[in-house]
């Protein structure tokens, strides 16, 4: 049997890894062949040999366990972008889903999430600016210091820092994070309903 070119094996390996990073799936033998200027039959023989050498797993026409894929393999989750939420006074929540955004679990973690577009400037000191996308993890509990989406007793929501319960009034305290514009400003609610906790901010440069 004619010996296999190590250089071509590396080309094939690199192409599969690059393809997977872009498409989150592996290419066909025809696609690989087109990329490395070889026939699909030639690529098939190379994949069989690469499988034999332990460079990847090639079974039933499926490529798996390629080192370049293993380094980039990650689960993805689809987070609905449900509109805007004010970083200011509470505003009625937008329920309309604008789109679904695929995000990697390796960067953002696992769980049930949704995205909100921030409006306003009251969270600037927390790194959240007007127009940023805020990734919210759905949960009904929170800790002091968390940035939360809170629903008050009137059914309105806002994005604020949870400061705990005031010992005098027994009301939950939600704080602004922009001392330049809103020094010391807080709002309080008699019944705090938590719709989620902010975990990440996605912003443009």
The dihedrals phi and psi of 23, each to the nearest 5 degrees, come to: -110, -10
- In eight-state DSSP terms, residue 73 is -
Tokens 């290419």 locate to 27
The yes-or-no answer on residue 160 being catalytic is yes
Task: Mark residue 184 as left, alpha or beta (left: phi above 0; alpha: psi -120 to 50; beta: remaining).
Answer: left
Q: How far apart are CA 94 and CA 104, in angstroms?
A: 25
Q: Tell me if residue 122 is catalytic.
A: yes
| Residue 149, CA distances (Å) to 35, 47, 65, 84, 184 in order | 48, 51, 41, 12, 19
* Residue from 60, 122, 129, 188 carrying the catalytic annotation: 122
Element containing residue 117 per DSSP (H, E): strand 113-119
3-state helix, strand, coil in the chain (%, to 5): 25, 35, 40
Pick the catalytic residue from 160, 170, 188, 191.
Answer: 160
Q: Name the residues annotated as catalytic.
A: 122, 160
């Amino acid at each position: 049997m004619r010996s296999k070119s190590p250089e071509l094996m590396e080309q094939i390996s690199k192409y599969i890894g690059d393809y997977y990073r872009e498409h989150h799936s592996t290419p066909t033998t025809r696609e690989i062949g087109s990329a490395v200027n070889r026939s699909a039959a030639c690529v098939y023989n190379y994949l069989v040999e690469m499988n034999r050498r332990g460079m990847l797993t090639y079974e039933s026409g499926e490529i798996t366990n390629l080192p370049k894929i293993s380094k980039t393999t990650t689960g993805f989750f689809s987070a609905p972008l449900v509109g805007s939420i004010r970083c200011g006074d509470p505003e009625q929540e937008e329920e309309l889903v604008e789109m679904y955004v695929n995000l990697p679990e390796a960067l953002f973690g696992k769980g049930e999430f949704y995205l909100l577009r921030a409006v306003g400037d009251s969270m600037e000191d927390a790194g959240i600016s007007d127009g940023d996308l805020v990734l919210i993890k759905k949960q009904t509990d929170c800790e002091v210091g968390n940035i939360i989406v809170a629903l008050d007793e009137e059914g309105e929501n806002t994005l604020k820092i949870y400061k705990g319960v005031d010992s005098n009034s027994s009301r939950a305290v939600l704080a602004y994070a922009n001392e330049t514009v809103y020094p010391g400003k807080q709002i309080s609610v008699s019944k705090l309903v938590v719709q989620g906790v902010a975990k990440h901010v996605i912003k443009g440069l």
